[in-house]
Amino acid sequence: MKLITCETVVDQLSAYLRHELSLDSLVAWAESAMMDGEFDPTYLPTIRDVVARIGVADVRAFGLTWEDCEQLLSQLGYSAQVSIVIR
């Protein structure tokens, strides 16, 4: 597994929010990252905390709401924007 940066985590969350990645796949990625990943040492505490939170998103008591995603992205230095377009 390559070095996990803030951008890596944002890419995974973005894919989930665009419905390109299922919740189960996102959680599996996070669990794998926690076990085998090497986090960018510059942002280690933040990345570790965000990935750990994603890793429990499949547990009913935790889940992963839009607000959760906004907060996680904010911790990583990003914000989410919604664009509504005609089909």
- Per-residue model confidence as pLDDT tens digits over 40-59: 999 999 999 999 999 999 98
Residue 6's contacts (CB-CB under 8 Å, 6 or more residues apart) are 40, 43, 46, 47, 76, 77, 78
The reply to whether 80 falls in a domain is: no
Structurally, how many domains does the chain consist of? 1
pTM for the whole structure: 0.91
The reply to whether 66 falls in a domain is: yes
Tens digit of pLDDT for each residue in 2-51?
899 999 999 999 999 999 999 999 999 999 999 999 999 999 999 999 99
Q: How confident is the model at residue 60 (pLDDT cuts 50, 70, 90)?
A: confident
The reply to whether 81 falls in a domain is: no
Q: Which domain holds residue 54?
A: 6-75
| Whether 9 contacts 75, CB under 8 Å | no
Mean pLDDT of 71-78: 97
Element (DSSP H or E) covering residue 53: helix 44-55
* CA gap 86, 42 in Å, rounded: 41
The reply to whether 85 falls in a domain is: no
The reply to whether 86 falls in a domain is: no
The reply to whether 35 falls in a domain is: yes
Share of the chain above pLDDT 90, in %: 89
The reply to whether 11 falls in a domain is: yes
The reply to whether 20 falls in a domain is: yes
